[in-house]
Structure 1
Amino acid sequence: MADELALLIADVYEAAGALRRSGEAIASSRGQTQARWQVLSVVSDTPQTVAGAARRLGVARQGVQRLANDLVGEGLAAFRTNPDHRGSPLLALTPDGERVLREITALAAEAHRSLAVGLPEADIAAARTLLRRLVEEVRRREAETPGG
């Protein structure tokens, strides 16, 4: 069973790489990167501080700060005053940022529909269930490990 789990983990990494490349291609068709797309998406519903956006994405604050500055420089996002903390402004989408995000999201939805052709919905649901259980188990073990 451990061998099968190791193979599943390798498959997940391979799938993540392939999907990342696909996401890059989709985002680049609108002049963006997948990382910028993720930042646009994470602040689309509610403006976030850079640190808050980084936490939601599970990445370093410094990387999100660089991306946020780029998005602001391109007019796709803007920093707004944060009523809760003057030193940490909120990153919000501009109308141009909302348009670009809508376009990228529509392209991604079409790509997902295309990928799903021929894949039984029950198999997709079972894979999602298994992956969620695997992630929950990893998180549970991290929480039990000191410093983890």
Structure 2
Amino acid sequence: MPDLDPADMRLLRALERDARLSFASLGEAAGMSKTPTWKRVQAMEKAGVIAGYRAVIDAAGIGLSTSAFVHVSIAFDRHEAFEQAVQDEPAVLACHATVGDFDYLLQVVTAGVPELDDLLRNRLRRLPGVHRFTTTLAMRDVKPRAYLTDAAG
């Protein structure tokens, strides 16, 4: 991991909040001129600190109003196959390997409860090695997103 100085963190903080800032505006937010800003951003992209850029889409705005978390237990010898298969399931927004009572925690999103039922019964349970799963339906988002730069201090 590269050593990030306070100026790098200011750039990251500004980019994380609005990745569409021009280099001039970004530099202004970080207290530097356009060219050094561009060079630092390029260096952080090359180092993998900046992994990409994307738009933040409102799920309900595109018809995805049901969010759930699924704890999944996998057969001991099927982890690799499960991890490969879960990559191809578009309703799975995130998959985390965990330690504890379950092997994975999935964040899923669907248009509604009937679609969630279909996802669970007809797709997720058929993924390689799935032994059992438990689903928790999210009622509402209290803190749907946070900034990594805030957590980094």
Same fold (TM over 0.5): no
Tell which structure's C-alpha radius of gyration is larger. Answer: 2
Question: Which TM-score band applies after superposition, normalised by the shorter structure?
Answer: 0.3 to 0.5
Higher relative helix content: 1
Give the number of the structure with larger relative contact order, counting CA–CA contacts within 8 Å between residues 6 or more apart: 2
When normalised by structure 1's length, the TM-score is 0.33
Higher relative strand content: 2
When normalised by structure 2's length, the TM-score is 0.32
